[in-house]
Structure 1
Amino acid sequence: MRTLRRIIAAGLLTAVAAATIGGPAIAAPAPTRGSLLAENPLATYATPGEVDTLLADGKFDPATDRYGVSLHQLIYRTIDTRGRPTTASGLLVLPINGDRRLSTVSFAHGTSVYRGDAPSLGEDTFLTGPAITFGSAGFAAVAPDYLGLGTGTGPHPWMDVPSETSASLDLLRAARTFAARQGRTLDQDVYASGFSQGASAALGLARALQEGADPWFRPAAVAPISGAYAIRRAEIPAVFTPEVQPRLASIYMAYLLTSYDRLHDIYRDPADVFQKDYVGIGDLLDASHPGVEVLEGAPPTVGDLLTERGRELLFHPTPRFAAALREADSVCEWRPGVPARLYFSPGDEQAVNANTTACRDSFATHGVQVPVVDVGVDTSYSGMVHEGSELLAVPRITRWFTELAGSR
């Protein structure tokens, strides 16, 4: 229990103004998407040594650090899950060096249940560490908070790839505007990565950029870590086995059902799918409750959470639910035209390894052999394999992206 409390308390339940410098004017599909509304300076780590200390304290390998960095919270215009205007926030990390033109890394974070656990709030190195690592290596790095987290309002639409993609893309646009005001240019190349929930978000962003979602930015590479790429085929069956940590399994399934019901109306009444003691669990997962509260209010197992009809819904989803799951599981059903790698740790007790295997196989059916990189196991941060996979993968991905950027 202490380990789980530490994970969730840390938020790791894993918790435009046109700029013409260096390229054409930014043009978003809607006039205001990607407009920068505000910038709040968060912190400056002026030297590589300061960055090293910060990352080492957070269990990240600082070996790729070359520069100091500045951290900024960006608040920008985007769209909600129904395409209506809204706002979101995200983190931008810039290297302190003489380079005026920068390639960009977009890193999407893992599952958080509380809006206060978001990269742009700058308080949790597990959430900021990847962007800081990429920034210190010489990239401009962005980390979206997603809808409903950070400065966002309302429940967070968990595992909703379309809104994760739009929030990520619009943050890139806002970051380009801010960088231009600093006399710097974000070039066209975007290197996409992300962890856990953010692995799907990274794939969604890379796919959208490859399909021409923005007239300026284009994908350069994609490297997701430990994602739930096959929720229906791999993750849902696994949560009913010892392969997934039992309490986390119950929280993930509660999050999935309540989030998808808000988005897609997949059940008539919470009492149809949740046991009577947990009928109100959706209220607990509205992004306003810290992770510790969610942990304490969640059942110890999926069996304690669901009614028989709830279990049936997961294994035999209604048409609306099935369509939503197909959309989430489609993140590997395309043909990347840029270098791609899948990173994982064996024995992951949250996003089971069958997800990565399914993603690799799906890419293969589309004619692309995507390498799968086993980063080993590190449980020193949280006692969990899952969180350790981010710590182990980020330095490797940083080196790979740096090599790719140097060869372009």
Structure 2
Amino acid sequence: MRTPTRTRMLALACAGLVLATATGPAALAATGAPASHAVTIDDRGTIVSADLLARLSAGQIAAYLTEAKFPVPDRPQGADLYAVVYRTTAVDGTPTTASGVVALPHRSRHGLWTVSYQHGTLATKAGAGSVSDGDGRAAPLMFAAAGFAGVAPDYLGLGKGPGFHPYMDAATEASASLDLLRAAGELAAGKGRSLSGDVLLTGFSQGGHATMALGKELRDERGLRLRGVAPIAGPYDVKDAELPALLGGRLDPGSATFYLAYWTVSMNRLHHFYDSPSEVFQDPGVERLFDGLHNFDEIVAGLPASPQDLVTPAYLKSVSQPSGPLLRALEVNDTTCAGWRPGVPVRLYAGRGDRDVAIANSYHCLRDLRASKVKVSLTDVGDVDHFTSAKRSLPKVLDWFTALRDARR
């Protein structure tokens, strides 16, 4: 039986468990330059501030992960969890800042492999891991408990980052995530740890898309070696997989309405295919819901029940037959699985019962990776909904990443 849309969309993003075991949010001395320092392109990945969110024992992490319904590694370690603000670039290439989470294990201190977890769709700044509990904290803690350095970017415009979040913009998903990897190395060095430069990537939903974008970005990054990629239920092909499922009624209507509204508002800021929201939305007030300040309940309350009730007939037709700036917005972001170089193994995970992100996205990604001669597989985790696909996939991802690391020791 399908759970209500609100429950499904919040199942992981709001696990409902606060880090009550923290020693208290203790602001640490910044390991980079002070926040007033003028950001330049050369500063990318340097730290503005690093705040200790929690210092957890192995037992506390095990209890936390169990409550959050995340896998508990064998012989878990304790870990320190930090909220990091760091320097990166905006959508136009100008300097800005972003935030994210870094978890460092207690026992393992030298030559740490790093796992970057890219979170799923968030429309509210306060929902990101640097400022709120959820998968943006649980995932890096899970990997730190297994002896990795765990990181989770908020992306641009979420958490403590300024401005709007450029939702589903592959270029900045990659750049903001890469710059947090750089910042994690700086933080680790300041805390008596060292990172090996070996990197593993995973992410869920939007984070699956971001994971593939980051993987392509890492190909030419000096000092970092991509060892494996395992995205879960990502919207890799919005034009030819996700939108046909939405228009064909194969997605949950509430979820489809939310995603279409958010995507439209975000992409218009970057590619400008309408001047007034009344040109695309039946209720022009929808655009204001995606300012990063409205919470999830407020956004859902302001949306209609279906995509057909959300947008104008003209825009719905444009979505079904995209051209001009709308087509460019789709094409520039639907390339995260294309053009890969052989050598890095990729394991895709998805569920055939997913009515938020159609499994066709994963099959199209599989096709594109095979065309590039990448060693790739797709695991169908069953006739399950979107968030259950993540719950079934994460233990497999953790086991695979652990095996990849241990095989090189």
Question: What is the TM-score when the length of structure 1 is the normalising length?
Answer: 0.90
Paired residues of 2:119 and 2:207 also in contact (CA < 8 A): yes
Deviation at 1:13, TM superposition (A): 9.8
Q: Deviations over 1:196-246 (max 9, x none)?
A: 001111111111111x1x321121111100000110001011112332110
1:68 paired to 2:78: yes
Partner amino acid, structure 1, of 2:119: H
CA distance in 1, matches of 2:80, 2:11: 22
Question: What is the match of residue 167 of structure 1?
Answer: 176
SS in 2 for 1:253: helix
Question: What is the match of residue 36 of structure 2?
Answer: none
Q: Deviations over 1:61-117 (max 9, x none)?
A: 324452111110000011110011111100001111043220100110000111111
CA distance in 2, matches of 1:298, 1:324: 23
Q: Deviations over 1:19-41 (max 9, x none)?
A: xxxxxxxxx99311111000011
Question: What is the match of residue 189 of structure 2?
Answer: 180
CA distance in 1, matches of 2:79, 2:46: 24
% identical equivalent positions: 37
**How is 1:132-147 mapped onto 2 (pairs within 5 angstroms)?**
132-147=141-156
Question: What is the match of residue 405 of structure 1?
Answer: 405
Deviation at 1:287, TM superposition (A): 0.9
Q: Deviations over 1:120-168 (max 9, x none)?
A: 22422x3322211111111001000001110012221100010110100
Gaps of at least 5 residues in structure 2 are 17-29, 33-38
Question: What is the match of residue 44 of structure 1?
Answer: 55
SS in 2 for 1:135: helix
1:364 paired to 2:370: yes
Paired residues of 2:73 and 2:146 also in contact (CA < 8 A): no
Question: What is the match of residue 341 of structure 1?
Answer: 347
Q: Deviations over 1:345-364 (max 9, x none)?
A: 22101011111111111112
Given candidates 90, 97, 114, the residue that maps to 1:104 is: 114
CA distance in 2, matches of 1:65, 1:198: 28
Question: What is the match of residue 254 of structure 1?
Answer: 261
**How is 1:218-367 mapped onto 2 (pairs within 5 angstroms)?**
218-275=225-282, 278-336=283-341, 337-367=343-373
SS in 1 for 2:42: coil
Partner amino acid, structure 2, of 1:157: P
CA distance in 1, matches of 2:336, 2:181: 20
Deviation at 1:319, TM superposition (A): 2.1
CA distance in 2, matches of 1:284, 1:190: 36
Deviation at 1:14, TM superposition (A): 13
Q: Deviations over 1:269-324 (max 9, x none)?
A: 2212111xx21211101111000101111110000011111112212223222122
CA distance in 2, matches of 1:106, 1:171: 9
CA distance in 1, matches of 2:74, 2:389: 17
CA distance in 2, matches of 1:245, 1:203: 25
Deviation at 1:377, TM superposition (A): 5.6
Partner amino acid, structure 2, of 1:273: V
Gaps of at least 5 residues in structure 1 are 19-27, 379-384
Partner amino acid, structure 1, of 2:181: L
Paired residues of 1:266 and 1:318 also in contact (CA < 8 A): no
Question: What is the match of residue 4 of structure 1?
Answer: 5
1:199 paired to 2:205: no
Deviation at 1:6, TM superposition (A): 3.4
Change (3 A) 1:203 1:142: same
Partner amino acid, structure 2, of 1:111: T
Change (3 A) 1:372 1:78: same
Change (3 A) 1:13 1:345: farther
CA distance in 2, matches of 1:359, 1:265: 27
Deviation at 1:334, TM superposition (A): 2.0
CA distance in 2, matches of 1:269, 1:11: 34
Change (3 A) 1:179 1:63: closer
Partner amino acid, structure 1, of 2:102: L
CA distance in 2, matches of 1:306, 1:289: 20
Of the structure 1 ranges 220-229 and 334-343, higher mean CA displacement relative to structure 2 is found in 334-343
CA distance in 1, matches of 2:138, 2:103: 10
Of the structure 1 ranges 367-376 and 69-78, higher mean CA displacement relative to structure 2 is found in 367-376
Deviation at 1:390, TM superposition (A): 1.6
CA distance in 1, matches of 2:40, 2:407: 32
CA distance in 2, matches of 1:355, 1:14: 26
Question: What is the match of residue 95 of structure 2?
Answer: 85
Partner amino acid, structure 2, of 1:37: V
Question: What is the TM-score when the length of structure 2 is the normalising length?
Answer: 0.90
Deviation at 1:368, TM superposition (A): 2.7
SS in 2 for 1:271: helix
Change (3 A) 1:65 1:73: farther
RMSD: 2.3
